Amino acid sequence: MSKKANPPPPVPVRGAAALLGLGLAEAALSIYQWKELLTLRGGGTTSCGISEKINCETVWNSAFASGVHERLGMPVAALGLVWGIVAVALSALFLVWRNNGHTVRPAANGLRLTAAAGVAASLVFGLASASSGALCPTCLGTYALTLTFAAVAWKGLPGPVLPQTGEWGRALQWTGGFAAAAYVALLLPGMQTPKASAALEKVATMTSTAAPGSLEAYLTSLSQPEQQAVANALARYKMDKPLPAPSATRRRYGPENAPVKMVEWTDSRCPHCKNLVEVLALMKKRIPEGKLSLEARQFPLDAQCNRSMPPHATDGSGTRCLAAKAQICTEDAPDYWELREKLFAAQATLNAQNVLSIMSSGTVTRPQLEACISSAATEKKLAEDIAFALQHDLHGTPLVVVNGREAQAIPSFLYALIMADGDPDAAAFKVLPAPAQQALQAHDHPH
């Protein structure tokens, strides 16, 4: 009698099980990042907006991230979720096939292809994040999970690393099928996620804020998350108590008798402040003359010149303090607003030398600027700005006050309030949903 051939050793499952766990972790992290992105687009503060250099918000608002969202119809976080779904699906398929005695090669090949795609994407997104000038902690978590996944897929799965002759078809079929299904399933919520420039684009396309019904038309054109953000901001604005200005206006854009009197405080290196300055620059072009009076005040987030900040709140360079004083020193210049917008446009590369070069590139000369910056009068004006801001219980920048009440720095809300001539009870606001419960709680501020 001939001996029976020994049965093949059982296919190991530890690698696939580990990949399943890593895929689930990556999917969960992507969902968290997507929720945080929605919070940011709604005007809230995210958990990873820690500082100027450690700030996911800067990365999510970058031109690269906006370009990905525009071209693929979903934010980068949603693409991470697509990858996580594919990783989970292929890992589960591997385990099911193994338990049923089927070949696991298509699933193993698909997992390795998915790992390779994840490594390539992590490299591209990592370089893009680095170019934005900020570190994104949750993005680093994504890269770590992806690289760990690739290492396990390389070493922990049975069989040759690359698909063999005749194996490519089924590997691509399963991998591509799962990817396409996940992408299609997430495309609608991805398209509904507000883009970084969505509110700004809507402002740019408005032809007239004076036309009857224009406010209602504007509000109904917003996405549901944007409408909710405006409703929340409006509720908080109506709860705030108007306070008189403790110091006289130094430089004003627009007429003194404008129905909307806005005062805004910024820090030159605050990303949210840059967004606000850009939005207001566009609003000034779109809003009919006479509707808005605007003052720009300073609140540098540096203890060197702002005693309300904790002692450790300084980067030692003095750039924030210098930029604040330079803006004060150009307030009387005819090109003040243009110089200020130019300063914030260069935020990513700001240093002491750049501040002086930019703010002396117009009608104020370099010697005039330097003399003014070092004067006691400028110190006094900066102290006035800080004291004025603290009257409103400021916790960060930007701070916006409209007709004496604190207003959230959400572009769509500010634009709507201006269109309503500052009336928070305007009939057009009735098209908005009811404010969320958290909107009726204590105010917060993005840093």
Q: CA nearest 43: which of 204, 184, 235?
A: 235
Pairing of strands 292-298, 260-266: parallel
**Percent of the chain scored above 90 by pLDDT?**
63
User: Is the pLDDT confidence value at 196 over 50?
Assistant: yes
- Of 5-9, 134-138, 365-369, the poorest mean pLDDT is in 5-9
User: Is the pLDDT confidence value at 446 over 50?
Assistant: no
User: Is the pLDDT confidence value at 208 over 60?
Assistant: no
Q: How many residues does the chain have?
A: 447
Q: Which of 185-199, 212-226, 389-403, 415-429: highest mean pLDDT?
A: 415-429
Q: How far apart are the first and last CA of the chain?
A: 82
User: Is the pLDDT confidence value at 213 over 90?
Assistant: no
pLDDT at 107: 94
Q: Residues 330-352: what's their mean pLDDT? A: 91
- Alpha carbons within 13 A on the beta-carbon side of 117: 17
* Average pLDDT over all residues of the chain: 88
pLDDT at 308: 92
- Of 131-135, 191-195, 316-320, 417-421, the poorest mean pLDDT is in 131-135
Report the SS3 class of residue 41.
Answer: helix
pLDDT in tens, 288-314: 889 999 999 999 999 999 999 999 888
Give the span between the Cα atoms of 25 and 7, in whole angstroms. 36
- The answer to whether the beta carbons of residues 22 and 145 sit under 8 Å apart is yes
**Edge to edge, what strands does the sheet with 292-298 contain?**
292-298, 260-266, 399-402, 405-407
pLDDT at 41: 65
Strand partners, 401: 263, 406
Phi, psi (5° rounding) for residue 335? -105, 25
Confidence tier at 200 by pLDDT (50, 70, 90): low
* Rounded (5°) CA angle 175-100-183: 20
Give the span between the Cα atoms of 262 and 406, in whole angstroms. 10
User: 333-358 in b/e burial notation, b at 16+ Cβ within 10 A?
Assistant: beebbebbeebbeebeebeeebbbeb
pLDDT in tens, 248-295: 999 999 999 999 999 999 999 888 888 889 888 878 877 888 999 999
Q: Residues 366-386: what's their mean pLDDT? A: 97
pLDDT in tens, 32-60: 999 988 877 655 567 776 665 677 877 88
pLDDT at 288: 84
Q: Residues 158-178: what's their mean pLDDT? A: 91
Which two three-digit tokens encode residue 54?
């450690």
- The answer to whether the beta carbons of residues 89 and 178 sit under 8 Å apart is yes
User: Is the pLDDT confidence value at 211 over 90?
Assistant: no
Give the span between the Cα atoms of 339 and 345, in whole angstroms. 10
- The answer to whether the beta carbons of residues 234 and 413 sit under 8 Å apart is yes
**Percent of the chain scored above 70 by pLDDT?**
90
pLDDT at 61: 75
Domains of the chain: 14-192 (1.20.1440.130), 198-440 (3.40.30.10)
User: Is the pLDDT confidence value at 66 over 70?
Assistant: yes
Give the span between the Cα atoms of 20 and 437, in whole angstroms. 38
Instruction: Tell me the residue type at 107.
Output: A
Instruction: Tell me the residue type at 28.
Output: A
CA 308 and chain centroid, separation? 26
Give the span between the Cα atoms of 381 and 416, in whole angstroms. 31
Q: Residues 171-192: what's their mean pLDDT? A: 95
pLDDT at 282: 78
Strand partners, 296: 264
pLDDT in tens, 423-441: 999 999 999 999 987 766 6
User: Is the pLDDT confidence value at 164 over 80?
Assistant: yes
Cβ-based neighbour number of residue 127 at 10 Å: 10
pLDDT at 49: 67
pLDDT at 125: 92
pLDDT at 76: 93
Peptide bond preceding 158 in cis form (omega within 30 of 0): no
